Chains A and B, each alone.
Chain A
Amino acid sequence: MQVDVYGDTLCALVSATALASTGNQVQLHLPAGPHAEQLQRGECPFREAGLADLMAEQLQGGRLMLAPLAAPPQPSAVIWLALNPDSMPEALSLIAALPERCTRRWLVVNQSTFAVGSSELLQQTLLDCDTPPVNPGAVVSLPDLLIEGNALQSFMRADSWLLGADADWARQLVTELLRPFNRRRDAIMPMRPREAEFTKLAITGMLATRLSYMNDMANLADSLDVDIEQVRQGMGADRRIGDAYLYPGCGFGGLSFSRDVMSLASTLEGSGLAAQLLDEVLNINERQKEVLFRKLWRHYGTDLRGRKVALWGVAFKPETSRINNAPALKLLEALWAQGVEVHVHDPRALDTLARWAGERDDLVLHQDPYAAVAGADALMLVTEWKAYWSPDLPRLRELMAAPLLLDGRNVWDPAFMKQNGFTYYGIGRR
């Protein structure tokens, strides 16, 4: 089949590559941006096992083609959306602009993480015609359930597919596209589009809830002289709980966890309903993003004016250059407001950060993590890039004005850091 995939997300690249690898003719429409540029140069913007190789293979074989967002889709009329969570407006205009929208029977598969109800909105746009179409197209929801670090495999051998479709022909067509990835057992769970979307929201919400819960526990551990690491392992050992998403830290970010996405969309408005727990989970997370600031504030007895602080990591997670809702942003604002000069290192996100922050005297960007800590009154580890896990401690101590470490990801060992002459604060560590 011919498939037109839209987006430069990990999900878009994985879906496009996997679909091409099973013989489909795939056109990948890329929004302008750094990912598009990298792909044009033949680089893969994501470090995912097997992805770069398989992608190169498909490109070479001609089954995968790169195209700009606005390029016309292929004739077979399958549109596959894997856009960023903040790209709902683009999705709507894309659909509105489909050629022969009212006469061709379009199948739109939406993998983008939009708010609940979005597929219905997209379908309204698709079918917004002067006279009702004879063969109406359909928008189906197929939420992105990729597990990062194992993204390609989690598509090619998915544990489950949530397939939200109202029309039988649409469900049949998607099932056919997924057939090569659905062999061990039938992992496709058919449901209505808003149910698929809601399930995705419920999954994200549960993960967020676990994190916020652990952060809450870690903050209590801080004041009760308990080491949260022992608690985390103990909890994870209980099979009813499991050990995923139990790491306390200085808050989570990213667009999928944003309030826009984790809210109930306009279709559900007017019901007077709101997700109470989820709302609180997000509130706790916003507070948690400032936890390192609070520790610094108290350490220095509320006197931060004129100090220098180094930040390691500003991306909302490792292996990305994105900073959407990243804890580092709230930290930066808190530090700046108190007259602190902030020196930042990040392997990939410095450009994005510079665009976000603009030119300012109290922000200095460094290509070298050790240059960032020179003369610093504290070092905050905010994103757990692997390169930060085993730093050169004597060098750090020598460079820093005060040997103060604030570990927002609990990647360092408190005892070892103290032995090496550092004052150490983790999240719930002792």
Chain B
Amino acid sequence: MSSSLTHKPAWQALMQHAAELRSSHLAELFAADAGRFDSLHRTFGPLLFDFSKQRLDARTLPLLFDLAAEQGLAEHMSELFSGAAVNPSEGRAAMHWALRLPAEHGCVLAGEDINAQVQAQLQRMDDIVQKVRSGQWRGATGEAITDVVNIGVGGSDLGPLMVTEALTDSRPANDSPLRVHFASTMDGSQVSQLLGGLNPHATLFIISSKSFSTIDTLSNAATARGWLERELGELPGLLACHFIGVSAAAERMMEWGIAPANQLALWEWVGGRFSLWSAIGLPIALSIGMAGFRELLAGAHAMDEHFRQTPWADNLPVLLGLIGIWNTNMLGINAHAVLPYDGRLKELPNYLEQLEMESNGKSVNLAGDTVDYATCPIVWGTIGPNAQHAFYQLLHQGTEPVTCDFIVPARRYREAQHSLAVAELRAQHELALANCLAQSRLLALGDAAVEDADTLPRNRRYRGNQPSSTLLLDELTPYSLGALIALYEHKVFVQSVIWEINPFDQWGVEMGKRIAVDALACIRGDIKRLPGADASTAGLLARIMAGSA
């Protein structure tokens, strides 16, 4: 990182290549090369990654690999996988990959047997999952638990929520009637809704917070605890029967009153947004069973190995990451939509928003300098077919260039529980598949995908040339989802290496929490005036206080 990134030869070569390609429309690229799909897609395990609808050609990839080599991607990867402190601002390693090592793999770092610790926690999760799912985890009055509420926010919410919803069809047949809920918002909207409908005798709470000091989570937990104490009275064993804690801060769990047997550990070397593979994933395991959870880990581990060992030209995370660099930095596209064509993946865009934007939404590089190039684009999305009725108008005819990831399983509704309605449901899936293919085609080709387009008035025509990738899963299973999530984790890492930033810290989310402390004191009347308040804040506060008087 001696010279500025944008002045490096590989960067310059890419910029020049982009200037040459910029005038080529995707429709022309497809017309010119019948073998475009063959050369511009890759497969790994249950995933097919088609990037032939990206605005690049055969010459682009080698240039991107040159840049990756110049940025030391290989060295950074081996640092990541050796447990080095790749998060220097917090002096930590980032070893989410260690959470999915097979049990028999050794992983000893600085004298500590990391994998032994990981496997021990997995075994403890297994015990809990077994007990709850068999109906033998008891509330304070001896009732079997029927409902579990995960209280957490950020990484302790988005990952577990996303995977739990994505894998509803992977719940074992003849399943226990266990229901898993999630409460995250600090304003109590979800807990208040949930508590109204739950039976306090049969509800188990998981308080999930890496630091066990997140105010959002602790305030929801306090509400839950108050509810139980009011409803059941101060019974012996109330906390031990109704609360599980997942945290790296054992002492704080202790202070809160989590029974030692109910404390699940994670480690400082796991980032929150990379933690669904740890005990933070307990709600997932409760929902799909521990065998399914281990399949999820196995899928992610397979992707880890693929990332470490496969040459870049066939390496999905490397390609996904570098194509993102190409779009952001060479083509200047700063918006990226995530579009799953499968309703079970509804929470995936939210999850990826955090993974990508909290990791790479930064403008100071590792050397401490402000960067002079774009980093993480704005990432957003929702279920594709629903987005067709919402923001696709902008994608097709707006003024902003946007890149898209289409994510869809090829096969669906093969599980036994759908047997009765299977014909109708498969027909619905075919409809979704067809729409997925049609939309990415129209976005790429524009009018070229439409017959007699030139006879239409201008407001009915399609510009096209919006680049997209399609990730086709054979089927959405714990294994394929594990591989898919790990693919994005490593994509984020690849991009951070190119951009020379630390993807594992998040200093941008700290200060707001602190400033809120004074505002809260003011709202609660502990202080009369907010020190140094700007006119807007003071004005809003005045109005709020006037209402409460």
Contacts A302-B236, A302-B237, A303-B237 hold; do A294 and B143 have CB atoms under 8 A apart? Answer: yes
Complex-state Cα separation, A244 to B144, whole angstroms: 31
Task: Report B-chain residues with C-beta under 8 Å of the C-beta of A298.
Answer: 141-142, 235
Which of B142, B143, B235, B240: most chain A Cβ within 10 A?
B142
Q: Is the CB of A334 within 8 A of B136?
A: yes
Interface residues in A280-307 by Cβ distance below 8 A to B read 290, 293-298, 301-303
Nearest chain B residue, comparing its CB with the CB of A302:
B237
Q: Is the CB of A333 within 8 A of B144?
A: no
Task: Report A-chain residues with C-beta under 8 Å of the C-beta of B134.
Answer: 333, 337
Nearest chain B residue, comparing its CB with the CB of A293:
B142
Complex-state Cα separation, A24 to B478, whole angstroms: 64
Interface residues in A314-364 by Cβ distance below 8 A to B read 333-334, 337-338
Complex-state Cα separation, A303 to B236, whole angstroms: 9
Task: Report B-chain residues with C-beta under 8 Å of the C-beta of A297.
Answer: 138, 141-142
Task: Report B-chain residues with C-beta under 8 Å of the C-beta of A334.
Answer: 136, 138
What's the nearest-Cβ distance from chain B to residue A374, in Å?
A: 26
What's the nearest-Cβ distance from chain B to residue A310, in Å?
A: 19
Complex-state Cα separation, A334 to B144, whole angstroms: 9
Nearest chain B residue, comparing its CB with the CB of A334:
B136
B241 at interface, CB cutoff 8 A: yes
Q: Is the CB of A290 within 8 A of B236?
A: no
Q: Is the CB of A302 within 8 A of B136?
A: no
Complex-state Cα separation, A297 to B140, whole angstroms: 8
Which among A290, A295, A302 is the interface contact of B144 at CB below 8 angstroms? A290
Nearest chain A residue, comparing its CB with the CB of B236:
A301
Task: Report A-chain residues with C-beta under 8 Å of the C-beta of B240.
Answer: 302
Complex-state Cα separation, A334 to B141, whole angstroms: 13
Task: Report A-chain residues with C-beta under 8 Å of the C-beta of B138.
Answer: 297, 302, 334, 338
Q: Is the CB of B237 within 8 A of A301?
A: yes
Task: Report A-chain residues with C-beta under 8 Å of the C-beta of B144.
Answer: 290
B131 at interface, CB cutoff 8 A: yes
Q: Is the CB of A290 within 8 A of B237?
A: no
Task: Report B-chain residues with C-beta under 8 Å of the C-beta of A303.
Answer: 236-237
Contacts A294-B141, A297-B142 hold; do A337 and B237 have CB atoms under 8 A apart? Answer: no
What's the nearest-Cβ distance from chain B to residue A395, in Å?
A: 30
Complex-state Cα separation, A34 to B290, whole angstroms: 40
Nearest chain B residue, comparing its CB with the CB of A300:
B236
What's the nearest-Cβ distance from chain B to residue A84, in Å?
A: 22
Which among B136, B140, B237 is the interface contact of A333 at CB below 8 angstroms? B136
Task: Report B-chain residues with C-beta under 8 Å of the C-beta of A290.
Answer: 142, 144
Task: Report A-chain residues with C-beta under 8 Å of the C-beta of B142.
Answer: 290, 293-298, 302
What's the nearest-Cβ distance from chain A to residue B321, in Å?
A: 47
Q: Is the CB of B236 within 8 A of A337?
A: no
Which of A290, A293, A302, A337: most chain B Cβ within 10 A?
A302
Contacts A337-B131, A337-B134 hold; do A302 and B140 have CB atoms under 8 A apart? Answer: yes
Task: Report B-chain residues with C-beta under 8 Å of the C-beta of A338.
Answer: 136, 138
The secondary-structure label for the interface of chain A is helix
Interface residues in B95-150 by Cβ distance below 8 A to A read 131, 134, 136, 138, 140-144
Q: Is the CB of B143 within 8 A of A337?
A: no
Complex-state Cα separation, A20 to B285, whole angstroms: 60
Complex-state Cα separation, A303 to B241, whole angstroms: 11
Task: Report A-chain residues with C-beta under 8 Å of the C-beta of B131.
Answer: 337
Interface residues in B143-174 by Cβ distance below 8 A to A read 143-144
Task: Report B-chain residues with C-beta under 8 Å of the C-beta of A337.
Answer: 131, 134, 136
Task: Report B-chain residues with C-beta under 8 Å of the C-beta of A302.
Answer: 138, 140, 142, 235-237, 240-241
Nearest chain B residue, comparing its CB with the CB of A337:
B136
Complex-state Cα separation, A293 to B236, whole angstroms: 16
What's the nearest-Cβ distance from chain A to residue B244, in Å?
A: 15
Nearest chain A residue, comparing its CB with the CB of B420:
A270
Complex-state Cα separation, A338 to B237, whole angstroms: 14
What's the nearest-Cβ distance from chain B to residue A357, in Å?
A: 16
Complex-state Cα separation, A337 to B135, whole angstroms: 10
What's the nearest-Cβ distance from chain A to residue B335, in Å?
A: 47
What's the nearest-Cβ distance from chain B to residue A116, in Å?
A: 20
Nearest chain B residue, comparing its CB with the CB of A335:
B136
Task: Report B-chain residues with C-beta under 8 Å of the C-beta of A301.
Answer: 236-237
What's the nearest-Cβ distance from chain B to residue A227, in Å?
A: 22
What's the nearest-Cβ distance from chain A to residue B9, in Å?
A: 66
Complex-state Cα separation, A296 to B134, whole angstroms: 20
Nearest chain B residue, comparing its CB with the CB of A270:
B420
Nearest chain A residue, comparing its CB with the CB of B140:
A302
Interface residues in B232-250 by Cβ distance below 8 A to A read 235-237, 240-241
Task: Report B-chain residues with C-beta under 8 Å of the C-beta of A295.
Answer: 142
Complex-state Cα separation, A187 to B19, whole angstroms: 98
A157-182 CB contact bits vs B (8 Å, 1 = yes)?
00000000000000000000000000
What's the nearest-Cβ distance from chain A to residue B136, in Å?
A: 3
Complex-state Cα separation, A85 to B501, whole angstroms: 69
Task: Report A-chain residues with C-beta under 8 Å of the C-beta of B143.
Answer: 294
Task: Report B-chain residues with C-beta under 8 Å of the C-beta of A294.
Answer: 141-143
What's the nearest-Cβ distance from chain B to residue A283, in Å?
A: 10
Nearest chain A residue, comparing its CB with the CB of B131:
A337
Complex-state Cα separation, A179 to B133, whole angstroms: 55
Nearest chain A residue, comparing its CB with the CB of B238:
A302
What's the nearest-Cβ distance from chain A to residue B287, in Å?
A: 20
Nearest chain A residue, comparing its CB with the CB of B136:
A337
Nearest chain A residue, comparing its CB with the CB of B130:
A337
What's the nearest-Cβ distance from chain B to residue A377, in Å?
A: 16
What's the nearest-Cβ distance from chain A to residue B115, in Å?
A: 29
Complex-state Cα separation, A298 to B139, whole angstroms: 10
Complex-state Cα separation, A333 to B142, whole angstroms: 13
Nearest chain B residue, comparing its CB with the CB of A303:
B237
Interface residues in B376-412 by Cβ distance below 8 A to A read none
Complex-state Cα separation, A98 to B141, whole angstroms: 55
Task: Report A-chain residues with C-beta under 8 Å of the C-beta of B236.
Answer: 301-303
What's the nearest-Cβ distance from chain A to residue B218, in Å?
A: 25
What's the nearest-Cβ distance from chain B to residue A164, in Å?
A: 29
What's the nearest-Cβ distance from chain A to residue B134, in Å?
A: 7
Complex-state Cα separation, A261 to B522, whole angstroms: 66
What's the nearest-Cβ distance from chain B to residue A253, in Å?
A: 17
Complex-state Cα separation, A380 to B147, whole angstroms: 29
What's the nearest-Cβ distance from chain A to residue B415, in Å?
A: 20
Complex-state Cα separation, A297 to B139, whole angstroms: 10
Nearest chain B residue, comparing its CB with the CB of A336:
B136
Complex-state Cα separation, A294 to B142, whole angstroms: 5
Complex-state Cα separation, A293 to B143, whole angstroms: 9
Nearest chain B residue, comparing its CB with the CB of A295:
B142
What's the nearest-Cβ distance from chain A to residue B396, in Å?
A: 43
Complex-state Cα separation, A259 to B36, whole angstroms: 59
What's the nearest-Cβ distance from chain B to residue A297, in Å?
A: 4
Complex-state Cα separation, A56 to B285, whole angstroms: 60
Complex-state Cα separation, A337 to B138, whole angstroms: 10
Task: Report A-chain residues with C-beta under 8 Å of the C-beta of B140.
Answer: 302
Complex-state Cα separation, A294 to B240, whole angstroms: 16
> Which residues of B are at the interface with A, using a C-beta cutoff of 8 A?
131, 134, 136, 138, 140-144, 235-237, 240-241
Apart from A293-B142, A302-B138, what 18 extra A-B contacts exist at CB < 8 Å?
A290-B142, A294-B141, A294-B143, A296-B142, A297-B138, A298-B141, A298-B235, A301-B236, A301-B237, A302-B142, A302-B236, A302-B237, A302-B241, A303-B237, A333-B134, A334-B136, A337-B131, A337-B134
Q: 19 A-B contacts, Cβ less than 8 Å apart?
A: A290-B142, A290-B144, A293-B142, A295-B142, A296-B142, A298-B142, A301-B236, A301-B237, A302-B138, A302-B140, A302-B142, A302-B236, A302-B237, A303-B236, A303-B237, A333-B134, A337-B131, A337-B134, A338-B138
Nearest 5 pairs between A and B by C-beta?
Answer: A294-B142, A302-B237, A337-B136, A297-B142, A301-B236
